[in-house]
């Protein structure tokens, strides 16, 4: 099975709001820089802070420590 070639990105977490109640969604923003040096801000929201790690692992942004 050939290895899938993947674009290399430099990603920094630049904004993360505090969750003051379970009803508050957490706002996140990342600065993403591609191989050509172009930077883009990507925003989103998640229901719980603990979901950020799970989402990052599912997307392949971080690997699980074993």
pTM over 0.85: no
pLDDT at 1 over 60: no
pLDDT at 28 over 90: no
| Residue range(s) defining the domain that contains residue 44 | 10-58
Interval 27-41 mean pLDDT: 90
Interval 35-62 mean pLDDT: 83
Q: Is 50 exposed, middle or buried (0-12, 13-18, 19+ CB in 10 A)?
A: exposed
Tell me if residue 52 falls in helix, strand or coil.
helix
Which pLDDT score, from 0 to 100, does residue 9 have?
73
Spatial neighbors of 11 by CB under 8 A, at least 6 apart, are 30, 31, 32, 33, 61
Q: Is residue 50 part of a domain?
A: yes
Cα separation of 51 and 20, whole Å? 16
Q: Is residue 45 part of a domain?
A: yes
Domain count for the chain: 1
Q: Is residue 65 part of a domain?
A: no
Which pLDDT score, from 0 to 100, does residue 65 have?
63
Q: Is residue 24 part of a domain?
A: yes
Q: Is residue 42 part of a domain?
A: yes
Record the tokens describing residue 1, joined without a space: 């099975």
């Amino acid at each position: 099975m050939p290895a899938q070639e993947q674009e290399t990105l430099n990603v920094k977490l630049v904004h993360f709001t505090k969750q003051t109640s379970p009803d508050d969604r957490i706002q996140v923003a990342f600065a993403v820089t591609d191989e050509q040096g172009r930077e883009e801000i990507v925003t989103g929201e998640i229901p719980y802070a603990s979901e950020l790690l799970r989402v990052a692992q599912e997307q392949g942004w971080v690997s699980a420590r074993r």
